[in-house]
Amino acid sequence: MKKSQIEKLQNIFGKDKVLTEIEDMIAYSYDASHVEIQPEAVVFATTTEQISLLMKLAYRERIPVTPRGQGSGLSGGSVPLKKGIVLVMDRMKRIIEFDPANRLITVEAGLTTADIDPIAAEANLFYPPDPGSVGFSTIGGNVAENAGGLRGLKYGVTKDYVKMMKVVLPQGDIVTLGNKCVKHVAGFNMEGIFVGSEGLLGIMTEVTLSLLPIPEHRESALAIFNSLDGAAQAVAAIIAAGVTPSTMEFMDNATINAIQNFKDCGLPRDAEAVLLIETDGQKDSAIAEMAKVEAEVRKNDFRDFTRAQSSEERDRFFAGRRVALNALAGVRPNLILEDATVMRSKLPDMVRGITAIANKYKLQVGIFGHAGDGNLHPTFLVDKRDKDEMARTEKAVTELFQLAIDLDGTISGEHGIGLEKKPFLQNQLGAEGIRLLQNIKKTFDPLNLLNPGKMFDMPEQQSA
Ligand SMILES: Cc1cc2nc3c(=O)[nH]c(=O)nc-3n(C[C@H](O)[C@H](O)[C@H](O)COP(=O)(O)OP(=O)(O)OC[C@H]3O[C@@H](n4cnc5c(N)ncnc54)[C@H](O)[C@@H]3O)c2cc1C
């Protein structure tokens, strides 16, 4: 970037909020995926107006801008593919309004997800979407990726809680979309189009989210199985029995052992698979639901069913699940994490298919994830320096996505497309589906300057 452009950025953000040194560019060149590309400048926004000025400058001078929350994304969304400017949102973290009477909270988009609950709890409320990254991801990043989490089965995902937002459009206009009312049909569902937009259509600066009352009681259990199939069948059987646990998390033997090596969370090293299950609600109904869960587990190649006797025991089981990715990351030099998703009834087919693919290509795989949502994270444990292994992994990933599509599922349940899954999106949406996305992008961002090159390519790339 030219010196004059850097000076213009300094005029907008202040000198101390604009970085250009090489070590800083390296620090903002990657997220939690595999791609690394250095930007030419990094800016830290503190107001919506600054972002509006930034986008006007970017449009005048044809500079690509990539929004970034905390860079915990798993699909390369905040990596600046076309270089230019990385716009960091994590300094915008004010709580703007807490409205317990309407069960709403309005926050700046850079707020860490976990920072909502202590405020909401003052009025016995909570914010249900809880991605594994809840302690460091931002609300803006969650909305842009439509993040899921451990409670998705009963409580849904981020899109179910977004009511309203303030957005800076690519050419610098500031708009407010959505409404705080329970019902709202004035115009298109524009706030909806920003959920899962991966920073391609605009920059969210404020978001109003709905909250729910904290359930009176929680029952937690660890179900231990002799086979992967038993655990997968149990998930389908529990749902078919009419129970909706708040959480139903799956971990296979490789994941269990990686966790236990990383930190002792009391998981059985010799189990083929475990399910971490939680029911919640009124005390009697949560207990009755867990009894139904146990009955279904017992029919499906189970070995043991342990109900947590204390909140400490429950926290220990859940701690294991929350460190699963970090633990697997320590097994081999690299990992390739996927999030192909199927309907719950097809989970047994998916688990069998993943195992068959890993065996076919002689790859080490750990499988964990939100089984209650049909959302598994098959994680190939690899060494990037081994070219042969990487070639086999590429083939395995392609087959994995095709398997999800063949089972009427999706190539991404919650991590988004970004750069990582871009080559596979057309297989799921078809050419017409991609064309529709391209036309929407062009309407919002005719010069393709906001997070260019992500999710899909534009027909004629007009960006700088
Ligand atoms: C250990 C670990 C566990 C995880 N567990 C889960 C999980 O359970 N469920 C799940 O869904 N994900 C999970 N993730 C993935 C990741 O945390 C989520 O995708 C999260 O929503 C990203 O938030 P972020 O603030 O880090 O966003 P970033 O990674 O910085 O950005 C993600 C995308 O959002 C865009 N963006 C960011 N802020 C804005 C904004 N204000 N306006 C417009 N666009 C914006 C970026 O351009 C980018 O495309 C996990 C990641 C890790 C490392």
Instruction: Extract the tokens encoding 256.
Output: 């269990």
Give me the mean pLDDT over the 78-101 stretch: 98
Instruction: Tell me phi and psi for residue 390, to 5 degrees.
Output: -65, -35
Ligand 1 pocket (Cβ < 6 Å) reads: 31-32, 66-74, 77-78, 89, 109, 131-133, 137-138, 140-142, 144-145, 147-149, 198-199, 203-204, 325, 414-415, 451
| Domain 332-443, CATH among 3.30.70.2750, 3.20.20.70, 3.30.930.10, 3.30.70.2740 | 3.30.70.2740
Nearest residue (by CA) to ligand 1, atom 19, is: 73
Q: State the CATH architecture for 215-315.
A: 2-Layer Sandwich (3.30)
Place of tokens 């250095």: 38
Give me the mean pLDDT over the 115-135 stretch: 96
Instruction: Extract the tokens encoding 198.
Output: 């991966």
47-58 confidence digits (pLDDT tens): 999 999 999 999
Give me the pLDDT at residue 463, please.
45
Amino acid 425 reads: L
Q: Strand pairing partners for 450?
A: 65
Please report the sign of the dihedral spanned by the C-alpha atoms of residue 45, residue 51, residue 53, residue 57.
positive
Amino acid 438 reads: Q
Give me the pLDDT at residue 462, please.
46
Nearest residue (by CA) to ligand 1, atom 53, is: 72
CATH number attached to the domain at 95-213: 3.30.465.10
Give me the pLDDT at residue 87, please.
98
Instruction: Give the distance (Å) from ligand 1 centre to CA of residue 147.
Output: 7
181-191 confidence digits (pLDDT tens): 999 999 999 99
257-277 confidence digits (pLDDT tens): 999 999 999 899 999 999 999
Categorize the per-residue pLDDT at 332 as very low, low, confident or very high, splitting at 50, 70 and 90: very high
> Comparing C-alpha atoms, which of 325, 399, 316 is closest to residue 366?
325
Q: Strand pairing partners for 222?
A: 276, 306
Give me the mean pLDDT over the 19-40 stretch: 96
> Comparing C-alpha atoms, which of 110, 107, 100 is closest to residue 211?
100
Instruction: Give the distance (Å) from ligand 1 centre to CA of residue 76.
Output: 10
Give me the pLDDT at residue 464, please.
46
Reduced 3-state DSSP string for the chain: CCHHHHHHHHHHHCHHHEECCHHHHHHCCECCCCCECCCCEEEECCCHHHHHHHHHHHHHHCCCEEEECCCCCCCCCCCCCCCCEEEECCCCCCEEEEEHHHCEEEEECCCEHHHHHHHHHHHCEECCCCCCCCCCCEHHHHHHHCCCCCCHHHHCCHHHCEEEEEEECCCCCEEEEECCCCCCCCCCCHHHHHCCCCCCCCEEEEEEEECEECCCEEEEEEEEECCHHHHHHHHHHHHHCCCCCCEEEEEEHHHHHHHHHHCCCCCCCCCCEEEEEEEEECHHHHHHHHHHHHHHHHCCCEEEEEECCCHHHHHHHHHHHHCHHHHHHCCCCEEEECCCECCHHHHHHHHHHHHHHHHHCCCEEEEEEEHHHCEEEEEEEECCCCHHHHHHHHHHHHHHHHHHHHCCCECCCCCCCCCCCHHHHHHHHHHHHHHHHHHHHHHHCCCCCECCCCCCCCCCCCCC
Instruction: Give the distance (Å) from ligand 1 centre to CA of residue 237.
Output: 32
Domain 3-88 coded CATH 2.60.40.10: no
Instruction: Tell me phi and psi for residue 236, to 5 degrees.
Output: -60, -40
Judge whether 133 and 145 are in contact, CB under 8 Å.
no
Give me the pLDDT at residue 130, please.
93
Give me the mean pLDDT over the 41-50 stretch: 98
Give me the pLDDT at residue 345, please.
87
* CA pair distance 31, 29, nearest whole angstrom: 7
* CA pair distance 9, 19, nearest whole angstrom: 10
Give me the mean pLDDT over the 158-177 stretch: 98
Give me the pLDDT at residue 170, please.
98
- The yes-or-no verdict on residue 65 having pLDDT over 60 is yes
307-324 confidence digits (pLDDT tens): 999 989 899 888 998 899
Instruction: Give the distance (Å) from ligand 1 centre to CA of residue 80.
Output: 15
User: Residue 166, exposed/middle/buried by CB under 10 A (0-12, 13-18, 19+)?
Assistant: buried
Q: Which atom of ligand 1 lies at the shortest distance from residue 72's CA?
A: 26
* Residue whose CB lies within 8 A of the most ligand 1 atoms, among 72, 412, 441, for a mutation test: 72
Instruction: Give the distance (Å) from ligand 1 centre to CA of residue 71.
Output: 6
Domains 215-315 and 332-443 are alike in CATH topology? yes
Q: Which atom of ligand 1 lies at the shortest distance from residue 90's CA?
A: 25
* CA pair distance 413, 434, nearest whole angstrom: 18
Q: Domain boundaries in the chain?
A: 3-88, 95-213, 215-315, 332-443
Provide the whole-model pTM: 0.95
| Side-chain half-sphere CA neighbours of 213 within 13 A | 7
Instruction: Give the distance (Å) from ligand 1 centre to CA of residue 133.
Output: 8
Nearest residue (by CA) to ligand 1, atom 14, is: 133
Amino acid 407 reads: L
Nearest residue (by CA) to ligand 1, atom 44, is: 199
In whole numbers, what is the pLDDT of the chain averaged over residues? 95
Instruction: Extract the tokens encoding 137.
Output: 């991801």
* CA pair distance 262, 281, nearest whole angstrom: 33
